[in-house]
Structures are given as C-alpha cells and as structure tokens.
C-alpha cells in the first residue's frame, strides 16, 4: 500500500482521533479504497505528478490547496461543514423541531438507501472515466479529469464516513459493497442507470460533467437540507467541490462548440468533420443522450418515495428556504402526466411531485448553460441554436419511459422512433467518428484539433503550464 499521509492517516474535521472504534474501522476501509482506486481509477497516470487542488479543511483558505501530487497520495479526507447550533428541521412533518444528530430508527432504511445511492455514484463515475487519460486533448484537460476523479473519490469517503458512523454493521457492509459494484458490469452494476453508461470519449465526458454532475448538484442540495444533520453538513461541503466539475463540463462543451464554429468559417466547404472538428449537429446528439440519461436520475415523476423522504425531513427541495411553505400538505404541482396513453396537464399532490419539482429546477439550470453555448455560437456569427430536448424524450425511468417521444415532445410509435433515433441520438457512425478524433495531446499549451483553448488556466496559471509532469 502507498504510504499516504503525514500526520493523520485520514485528514478530517470530525475528531476521528476521539473515536477509536470508528477510526479503526475507517483505517481498515482505507487500504480497500486504495486497492479499488489503483484497480479501477485512472489507468496509467498513477505515478505522475499532477497539479491538483486538495481540501485540507473547510475554512475558506483550506478547501483549495493547489500543489503537485501523485494521485494515490491524494489526501482523501472527511470534512463536514461546522455544526450550526440550534438548527431545526426546515421542512416536512418535523419542521421547526431540532435536527437529528443520530439516525431515527423509523427512518433508518430510507436514510441508508439515500446515502448508499449517493455514495454509489461517486466511484461509478471514476470507473466510467478511467481510460480517458489515454486521449486527453491537452494537459489542462487531463489535469481537470484527474481533479474531478480524486474529488469523486473524496465524495465516496464522505458517504462511507456516514455509513460507518451511523449505520453499524449494515453500514460497514454497504461501504464494502460500494467498492464491489462496477459501472456497466452485468452481474454487479452500479445502482443508477447513467452510471452504467460508457463515457468512452471526451465529448461524452464533457456532457457527463455538464449534465450528470449537475444532477449531483441538485441531489446534494436537496440532501443538504436534511434534518439528519451529519448528512446536511457533509453535502454542503461536497457542493463546494461540485462547482468545478460542472465548470469542466460547461466550459468543455463551450470550447468544442467554439472550435466547430471556427472550422465552419475556415475549413474548405465549411466541413467541420473533415477539418478534424466535431460539428454542431453531432454535439446536439450527445446533448440529447446525456441530458436524457441525467433526467432519469431524478426518479419517477410521481413518487411516494420522494413524498416519504420529504415528510420525514430527510430530503428537501433545492434551496428550501426560498419557498414560502415547508409542509406541503394540500398543495399541488401542475405538470404533464400520462393517462390512458395520453399526455394531460394536471395538478399532482405536491409531496408526490417532488422529484419533478427538483427536475424542473435542474432543467432551468441546464437551459442557462445551453444559453451560454448559444451566445458563443452567435458571437462567432453562426446561425445555429442548440436546444434541450423535451423531458419526455428518450427516458428509461418514470412515466415517459413507457412511450416514445420526439425531441420536441410529440408522442410517436415505436417503429417511427426506431427509424429516426439515429437522427436524434449518436449512432454507431457518430461514435466511430468522435472516437477517431481522440488522439492525446500532452505538450504544454497545445490543444487537439477539435477543441478551442480554455479562456484561462487553472488557478490563473499561464496556458502552457505543465499541469502534469512527464514520467
Ligand atoms: N436508475 O420513486 P422512484 C452525483 C428506482 S449524481 C435506476 O421513482 P425515488 C454524481 C428507485 O431506486 C446524484 N433505478 O424514485 C454525478 C426505486 O427502486 P425500488 C446522486 C432508479 O426513489 C456525477 C424505483 O426506481 N444522488 O452525485 O424517489 C458524478 C422507483 O423510484 C432510477 C442521488 O441520487 C435510476 N435513474 O428517486 C458523480 C440522491 N431512478 O425502490 C456523482 C439519492 C429511480 O423500486 N437518491 N430508480 O427498488 C435519491 O434521492 C433517489 O434514490 C433517486 C430516486 C432520486 C435516485
């Protein structure tokens, strides 16, 4: 095992040294985590010095320390936002009562399931991205990939801390299972659909960090409202790291879009593909794919699980305190539903509609990102608009998954869908083409043909900074 740490084996602000039993349990899990990281984490870069940001404390000057580090030596720590004395439940049946520092027995299973589901996504994403280092379009992007990867590893630690501390033997078993499931494995898949999809090239990686990490933002924000205080405090700190992941996605796609526009103007016949770029219609197809997979992550449109999680104070809404009312008894949400094969707009009891309420906030946030991409296209003088498809398109979870829809939301039969899906989603030829562009560029300051350089460097460093040191 790599010698990880200097003073403390597991950096933390949870007074781990005061709880010998917990400390021993986590120190026993640590080598299993490192074995998993080495087996399933980034392939081929583990011994390199990478310019990474490490959280060493939750204070403003402590959560973003930049330095060269070899990934297995990254200090994966346990950080919770400081406790707010006197905090009360902000929503649900217990609104106004003091928050819980221990797991209430009647909600133990529901809470464990939420923590396990959240925890499962973190190693899953590392597994999905493990080969991307082979084809990075620049050292800047390579470093960003690894930053995202190590932080997902830390987010796994955050959930494993909760499992070990609050869920006894079941929690320890669940923590082991988190290292045993594998993204895309037929026998032991990851829990949620999008986390079993291959992220086989960098366009998918950027779409994943734009859309799937953004689901993470909304789910973590909903859990950050939790009346189970340790969960709320850990999710609040995770959210500070999550912002960079979405930046990687949004700015990554923006740079691919910009390059496509430049080539439309300069390449012979405006043929972006022939000039080594990814054309805007292909970008739109990958958006369709990753956005729809990410919409699935919010669960069913009408969900008694969501109602129960809200009622019991475990999972709130995005920025719960912006809402005027926090019990949601007798209120409704107007939304599209499927009734006898027809789409109808009707009022659904609010607590049952909470997955859709969260998804609606998420969609607005995605639209803001897409608007910024469209501004880039407009600034380049190109006539093209990228759009989010209807939330009914290409769904595998929830009521829309039982019917077929076009990207504009019209219901169609299966035969029409089968005949046309290659126009809307990446087909085999698109995938072959995008992969054909994926050649590594490891020279400082240089970029692959299909992506524009970033507007500025990490931590304001110059464009030709050596983010990853040679072997
Ligand atoms: N795939 O009542 P329903 C992140 C299951 S991403 C497969 O409709 P519910 C990150 C569901 O389990 C954020 N199965 O939904 C991003 C249930 O199963 P059972 C991760 C699914 O329970 C990038 C059944 O369908 N965090 O952090 O209200 C990189 C009916 O469920 C799916 C969380 O998800 C699916 N997509 O909501 C790294 C937060 N959706 O009971 C990290 C924790 C539903 O019939 N999780 N099912 O066996 C939750 O809050 C909820 O579990 C969900 C589902 C929102 C996911």
pLDDT tens by residue, 78-107: 999 999 999 999 999 999 999 999 999 999
Q: Is the CB of 231 under 6 A from ligand 1?
A: no
Residue 451 above 50 pLDDT?
A: yes
Q: How far apart are CA 430 and CA 151, in angstroms?
A: 31
Sign of the Cα torsion 329, 334, 338, 342 reads positive
At 221-230, the pLDDT tens digits run: 999 999 999 9
pLDDT classification of 5: cutoffs 50, 70, 90: very low
User: Considering only 55-64, 183-192, 297-306, 371-380, which range has the smallest mean pLDDT?
Assistant: 55-64
pLDDT at 7: 54
CB 266 within 8 A of CB 252: no
Best substitution site from 147, 178, 291, 299 to test ligand 1's pocket, by max atoms within 8 Å of Cβ? 299
Query: Three-class SS of residue 28?
Result: helix
- For ligand 1, atom 45, the nearest C-alpha belongs to 305
At 249, list the tokens. 């996605």
User: Considering only 52-56, 375-379, 393-397, 426-430, which range has the smallest mean pLDDT?
Assistant: 52-56
Supply φ then ψ for residue 408, to 5 degrees.
-90, 0
Q: How far apart are CA 471 and CA 456, in angstroms?
A: 26
pLDDT classification of 3: cutoffs 50, 70, 90: very low
Residue 74 above 80 pLDDT?
A: yes
At 230, list the tokens. 């340790």
For the residues of 352-386, what is the DSSP string, one character each?
Answer: GGHHHHHHHHHHHHHHHHHHHHHHHHHHTT-----
pLDDT at 61: 74
pLDDT classification of 63: cutoffs 50, 70, 90: confident
* Residue 38 CB contacts under 8 Å (≥ 6 apart), including other chains: 46, 72
**Residue 248 CA, ligand 1 centroid: distance in Å:** 24
Best substitution site from 196, 204, 298, 305 to test ligand 1's pocket, by max atoms within 8 Å of Cβ? 305
Paired residues of 67 in beta bridges = 52
pLDDT classification of 241: cutoffs 50, 70, 90: confident
At 403, list the tokens. 């019917």
pLDDT at 60: 73
Residue 4 above 60 pLDDT?
A: no
Q: Is the CB of 192 under 6 A from ligand 1?
A: yes
pLDDT at 58: 76
**Residue 314 CA, ligand 1 centroid: distance in Å:** 14
> If 0-12 CB within 10 Å is exposed, 13-18 middle and 19+ buried, where does residue 322 land?
exposed
Question: What percent of the chain shows pLDDT beyond 70?
Answer: 99
H helix intervals, 58-184: 108-128, 139-166, 168-180
Q: How far apart are CA 429 and CA 282, in angstroms?
A: 11
* Residue 325 CB contacts under 8 Å (≥ 6 apart), including other chains: 331
* Residue 269 CB contacts under 8 Å (≥ 6 apart), including other chains: none
At 162-201, the pLDDT tens digits run: 999 999 999 999 999 999 999 999 999 999 999 999 999 9
In the block, which residue shows the tokens 């205080």? 229
Residue 2 above 50 pLDDT?
A: no
User: Considering only 51-60, 215-224, 400-409, which range has the smallest mean pLDDT?
Assistant: 51-60
Q: Is the CB of 174 under 6 A from ligand 1?
A: no
Number of residues assigned to the chain? 471
What average pLDDT is seen over the chain?
Answer: 96
Angle at 369 between CA 386 and CA 300, to 5 degrees: 90
Q: How far apart are CA 405 and CA 413, in angstroms?
A: 8
At 317-365, the pLDDT tens digits run: 999 999 999 999 999 999 999 999 999 999 999 999 999 999 999 999 9
**Residue 299 CA, ligand 1 centroid: distance in Å:** 5
Q: How far apart are CA 123 and CA 276, in angstroms?
A: 33
Q: How far apart are CA 141 and CA 133, in angstroms?
A: 9
Q: Is the CB of 297 under 6 A from ligand 1?
A: yes
For the CA of 398, the nearest atom of ligand 1: 8
For the CA of 115, the nearest atom of ligand 1: 43
């Amino acid at each position: 095992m790599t010698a990880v740490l200097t003073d403390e084996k597991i950096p933390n602000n949870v007074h781990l040294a005061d709880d010998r039993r917990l400390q021993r349990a986590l120190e026993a899990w640590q080598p299993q985590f490192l074995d998993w990281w080495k087996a399933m984490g980034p392939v081929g870069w583990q011994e390199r010095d990478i310019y990474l940001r490490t959280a060493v404390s939750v204070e403003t000057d402590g959560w973003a320390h930049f330095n060269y580090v070899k990934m297995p030596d990254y200090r994966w720590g346990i950080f919770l936002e400081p406790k707010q004395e006197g905090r009360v439940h902000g929503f649900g049946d217990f609104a106004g009562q003091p928050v819980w520092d221990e797991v209430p027995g009647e909600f133990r299973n529901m809470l464990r399931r939420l923590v396990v589901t959240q925890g499962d996504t973190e190693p899953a994403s590392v597994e999905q991205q493990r080969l991307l280092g082979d084809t990075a379009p620049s050292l800047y992007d390579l470093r960003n990939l690894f930053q995202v990867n190590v932080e997902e590893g830390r987010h796994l630690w955050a959930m494993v801390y909760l499992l070990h501390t609050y869920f006894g033997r079941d929690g320890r078993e669940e923590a082991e299972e988190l290292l045993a499931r594998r993204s895309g494995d037929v026998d032991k898949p990851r829990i949620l659909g999008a986390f079993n999809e291959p992220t086989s090239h960098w366009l998918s990686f950027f779409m994943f960090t734009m859309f799937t990490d953004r689901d993470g933002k909304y789910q973590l924000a909903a859990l950050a409202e939790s009346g189970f205080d340790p969960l709320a405090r850990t999710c609040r700190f995770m959210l500070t790291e999550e912002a960079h992941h979405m930046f990687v996605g949004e700015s990554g796609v923006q740079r691919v879009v910009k390059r496509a526009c430049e080539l439309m103007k300069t390449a012979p016949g405006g043929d972006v593909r022939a000039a080594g770029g990814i054309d805007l219609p292909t970008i739109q197809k990958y958006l369709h794919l990753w956005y729809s997979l990410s919409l699935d992550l919010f669960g069913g449109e009408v969900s008694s699980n969501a109602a129960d999680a809200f009622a019991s104070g475990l999972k709130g809404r995005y920025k719960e305190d912006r809402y005027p009312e926090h019990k949601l008894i007798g209120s409704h949400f107007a939304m599209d539903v499927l009734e006898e094969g027809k789409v109808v707009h009707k009022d659904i009891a609010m607590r049952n509609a909470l997955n859709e309420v969260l998804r609606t906030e998420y969609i607005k946030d995605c639209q803001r990102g897409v608007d910024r991409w469209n501004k880039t296209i407009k600034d380049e003088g190109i006539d093209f608009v990228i759009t989010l498809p209807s939330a009914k398109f290409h769904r595998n979870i929830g009521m829309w998954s039982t019917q077929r829809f076009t990207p504009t939301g019209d219901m169609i039969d299966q035969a029409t869908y089968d005949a046309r899906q290659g126009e809307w989603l990446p087909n085999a030829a698109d995938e072959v083409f995008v992969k054909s562009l994926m050649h590594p560029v490891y020279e400082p300051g240089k970029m692959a043909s299909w992506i524009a350089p970033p507007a500025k460097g990490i931590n304001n460093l110059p464009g030709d900074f050596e983010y990853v040191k040679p072997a």
